[in-house]
């Protein structure tokens, strides 16, 4: 549904996005993670045909973002929730939605139906005739999402949809995104909220001008290093550490009564390790498997110089 | 070009302007004020020296009439300059540009939004002016001075001057990044019309019917050229990436 190949954008001497390639499938929630200035918004703007690419290719559905005659067709296919909510503060919630519905050539009955349904779903129906200027940040963000959905697009681009929201409002927005996921909408989510990306996204790409990694949250966690098995012993025992090291399954170290072994696949190797510990005379108090987090992966990958 | 899109954008902007009272007052105040001031001048002017005489009236009114070309060149500045900068200030421009509308449709919508209230205010002012002038001059002239052909041509020139001013204001608005600069630059758009007025007062040109018709033709051509210029210099990419 969304496909880019060596997509790049330069502003004068500054390269904002450098040779980025990825695909996003139908109904997928795709997270685009990166620090400020990583090129996330520039990528979204290119994909929404708001700014041109410098080089490379990108397709939205059957359309090419580089062809000017495809731009209007692409914009009809997508919904954009920009970083700034972009509401007309002097107009009511209903008028804001109706305005965008008309620009997407929805009939009056289609507009009425979708506006009613969206406002009710986002718990804004009671406020439909109130000027948006009086809304809280959370309400404005919910309305911003509704604006992007008024023409029932199949693809949604969301640029930091929960930024600057309080935890409760952020949760409401996240829950709504999860509802959209159930409706099989394709969602391209720009964020630097790792927890949000992990909870919502099927796959995540990490960007810092170049694409650093792409995969499921679990794959990214594992890509940094394997997980760690931590064995708490009753007493420290050098023979136990030697026995584990001899297995050669992963880096092992001891600190006091705690034995730590880095493993690619703890579920497979733990039984062998525990057997070796037992045979070396170790008395086990507890065993824990600790994984590297998405944050570990993110921090390592955004700091790397080389691209994928 | 989908004219329906332009109309939708125009109606939305008019709705917003109606809520911005100061913008609306600026629009209505000048035409209404002048429509009353000129008849007052005719009625009470030169009282100490016996008042304005019948033969002096047509020449005086001829000078006043040109103000109904100057007014539409002045009054759209606050609205037209707000058109693009205002969208940027409300941070709504990115979303608007992401809809399936073309630059031409957006700019035409912005022009219509300014044109309709401004022309209503101008024509309302002109109607009041003509009615009041007729009531104060009938006694001295012995006939109703208005309506006449010259004023008819002036009322044809008014929307053309208005369109030119709107286009120039929108061009300014899409090149600067704050409403104040846009409005200040936009308010200078009436200067060429003041220049024509001064030239006629100094006798350099005569604003007779044929000159007015030539001016109408020239301004109509400029309107078309300026609309094309405004769409060609409307750089959505620059507005999105460089404006802060």
Fold agreement between A2-221 and A226-291:
no
**Chain A contacts of B4, Cβ < 8 Å?**
102, 105
The whole-angstrom separation of Cα B205 and Cα A80 is 56
Stronger pLDDT, B222 or A168, i.e. the higher one = B222
| pTM (2 d.p.) | 0.81
pLDDT of residue A273: 93
Provide, as residue numbers in chain A, all residues whose Cβ is less than 8 Å from the Cβ of B240. Answer: 45, 50-51
Cβ atoms within 10 Å, residue B21: 9
Task: Answer yes or no: do B15 and A95 touch at CB < 8 A.
Answer: yes
pLDDT of residue B43: 86
Domain spans in chain A, listed from the N-terminal domain onward: 2-221, 226-291
Are B94 and A82 within 8 A, CB to CB? yes
A237-252 pLDDT, tens digit per residue, is 889 999 999 999 888 9
Higher pLDDT, B26 or A277: A277
Per CATH, domain A2-221 is 3.40.50.300 = yes
Interface test with A, best of B20, B99, B235, B239 (most A CBs within 10 A): B99
**Total residues belonging to chain B:** 244
Partners of residue B88 in chain A, C-beta under 8 Å: none
Among B91, B97, B100, select the one facing A76 at the smallest CB separation. B100
Could you read off the pLDDT of A75-103 as tens digits, one per residue?
999 999 998 888 999 899 999 999 999 99
Nearest chain B Cα distance for residue A104, angstroms: 7
Q: Which range, A145-154, A262-271, B85-94, B180-189, has the best average confidence (pLDDT)?
A: A145-154
Of A51, A78, A88, the CB nearest to B90: A88
Residue B8 to residue A95, Cβ atoms within 8 A = no
**Confidence band of A226 (pLDDT split at 50, 70, 90):** low
What per-residue confidence (pLDDT) applies to B243?
60
Give me the residues paired with residue A31 across strands. Answer: A189, A204
Are the Cβ atoms of B19 and A50 closer than 8 angstroms? no
Residue A270 has pLDDT above 70, yes or no: yes
pLDDT band (50, 70, 90) for residue A304: confident
Q: What is the mean pLDDT of residues B29-33?
A: 90
- Comparing alpha-carbon positions, the chain B residue that sits nearest to A41 is B241
Q: What is the pLDDT of residue A307?
A: 47
Query: Quick one: angle between helices B67-74 and B191-201, nearest 10?
Result: 160
For residue B152, give how far its alpha carbon lies from the nearest alpha carbon of chain A (Å). 38
The chain-wide mean pLDDT, for chain A, equals 90
A93 close to B (CB below 8 A)? no
Relative orientation angle of helices B67-74 and B103-141, to the nearest 10 degrees: 150
Nearest to B100 among A75, A88, A131 (CB): A75
Q: Which residues of A touch B5 (CB under 8 A)?
A: 102-103
Q: Which of B19, B92, B240 sits opposite A45 (nearest CB)?
A: B240
> What does the domain layout of chain B look like in residue ranges?
3-242
Closest chain B CA to residue A48: B98
Write the CATH number of the domain with boundaries A226-291.
Answer: 3.30.70.100
Mean pLDDT of B84-105: 87
Contact A50 B97 (CB under 8 A): yes
B-facing residues of A in 63-92 (CB < 8 A) are 72-73, 75-76, 78, 80, 82, 84-91
**Most confident region among A194-198, A231-235, B44-48, B126-130 by mean pLDDT:** B126-130
* Cβ distance of A103 and B9 shorter than 8 Å: yes
Measured from the Cβ of residue A223, the count of other Cβ atoms closer than 10 Å reads: 17
Question: CA A301, CA A194: separation in Å to the nearest integer?
Answer: 13
Give the residue-averaged pLDDT of A26-47: 93
Q: What is the rounded average pLDDT of the residues B217-239?
A: 85
Cβ-defined contact of B12 to A82 (cutoff 8 Å): no
**A53 — contact with chain B (CB < 8 Å)?**
no
Contact at CB, B99 and A75, closer than 8 angstroms: yes
Cβ-defined contact of A103 to B99 (cutoff 8 Å): yes
Comparing CB atoms, the residue among B4, B9, B94 nearest residue A50 is B94
Q: Report ipTM (2 d.p.).
A: 0.82
> Which residues in chain A touch residue B236, judged by CB atoms under 8 angstroms apart?
50-51
Residue B232 exposed, middle or buried by CB count within 10 Å (0-12, 13-18, 19+): exposed
- Split at pLDDT 50, 70, 90, the class of A290 is confident
State how far the Cα of A206 lies from the Cα of A32, in Å rounded to an integer: 6
**CB distance A103–B236 less than 8 Å?**
no
């Amino acid at each position: 549904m969304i496909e880019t190949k060596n997509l790049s954008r330069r502003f004068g001497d500054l390269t904002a996005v450098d040779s980025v390639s990825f695909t996003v499938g139908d109904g997928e929630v795709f997270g685009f993670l990166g620090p400020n200035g990583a090129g996330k918004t520039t990528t979204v703007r290119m994909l929404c045909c708001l700014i041109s690419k410098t080089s490379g290719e990108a397709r939205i559905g059957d359309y090419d973002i580089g062809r000017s005659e495809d731009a209007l067709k692409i914009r009809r296919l997508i919904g954009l929730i920009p970083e700034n909510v972009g509401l007309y503060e002097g107009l009511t919630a209903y008028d804001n939605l109706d305005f965008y519905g008309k620009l997407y050539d929805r009939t009056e009955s289609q507009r009425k139906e979708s506006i009613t349904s969206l406002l009710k779903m986002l718990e804004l129906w009671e406020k439909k005739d109130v000027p948006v200027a009086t809304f809280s940040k959370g309400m404005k963000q919910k309305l911003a999402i509704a604006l992007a959905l008024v023409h029932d697009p199949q693809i949604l681009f969301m640029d930091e949809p929960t930024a600057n929201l309080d935890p409760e409002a952020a949760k409401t927005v996240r829950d709504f995104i999860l509802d959209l996921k159930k409706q099989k909408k394709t969602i391209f989510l720009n964020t630097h909220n790792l927890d949000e990306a992990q909870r919502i996204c099927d796959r995540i790409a990490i960007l810092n001008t170049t694409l650093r990694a792409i995969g499921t949250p679990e794959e990214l966690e594992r890509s940094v290093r394997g997980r760690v098995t931590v064995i708490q012993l009753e007493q420290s025992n050098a023979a136990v550490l030697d026995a584990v090291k001899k297995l050669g399954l992963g880096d092992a170290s001891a600190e006091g009564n705690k034995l730590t072994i880095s493993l690619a696949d703890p579920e497979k190797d733990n039984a062998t390790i525990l057997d070796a510990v037992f045979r070396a005379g170790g008395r086990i108090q507890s065993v824990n498997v600790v994984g590297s987090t998405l944050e570990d992966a993110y921090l390592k990958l955004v700091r790397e110089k080389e691209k994928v | 070009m989908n004219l329906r899109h332009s109309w939708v954008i125009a109606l939305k902007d008019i709705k917003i302007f109606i809520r911005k009272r100061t913008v609306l007052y600026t629009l209505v105040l000048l035409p209404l004020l002048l429509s009353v001031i000129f008849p007052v001048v005719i009625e009470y002017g030169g009282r100490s020296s016996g008042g304005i005489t019948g033969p002096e009236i047509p020449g005086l009114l001829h000078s006043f009439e040109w103000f109904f070309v100057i007014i539409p060149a002045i009054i759209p500045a606050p609205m037209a300059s707000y058109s693009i900068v205002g969208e940027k200030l409300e941070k709504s421009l990115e979303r608007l540009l992401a809809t399936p509308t073309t630059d031409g449709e957006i700019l035409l919508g912005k022009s219509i939004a300014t044109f309709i209230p401004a022309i209503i205010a101008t024509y309302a002012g002109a109607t009041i002016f003509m009615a009041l002038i007729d009531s104060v001059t009938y006694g001295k002239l012995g006939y109703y001075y208005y309506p006449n052909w010259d004023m008819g041509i002036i009322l044809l020139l008014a929307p053309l001057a208005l369109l030119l001013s709107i286009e120039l204001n929108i061009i300014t608005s899409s090149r600067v990044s704050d409403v104040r600069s846009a409005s200040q630059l936009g308010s200078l758009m009436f200067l060429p019309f003041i220049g024509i007025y001064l030239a006629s007062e100094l006798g350099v040109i005569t604003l007779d019917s044929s000159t007015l018709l030539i001016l109408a033709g020239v301004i109509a051509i400029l309107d078309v050229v300026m609309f094309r210029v405004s769409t060609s210099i409307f750089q959505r990419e620059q507005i999105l990436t460089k404006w802060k």
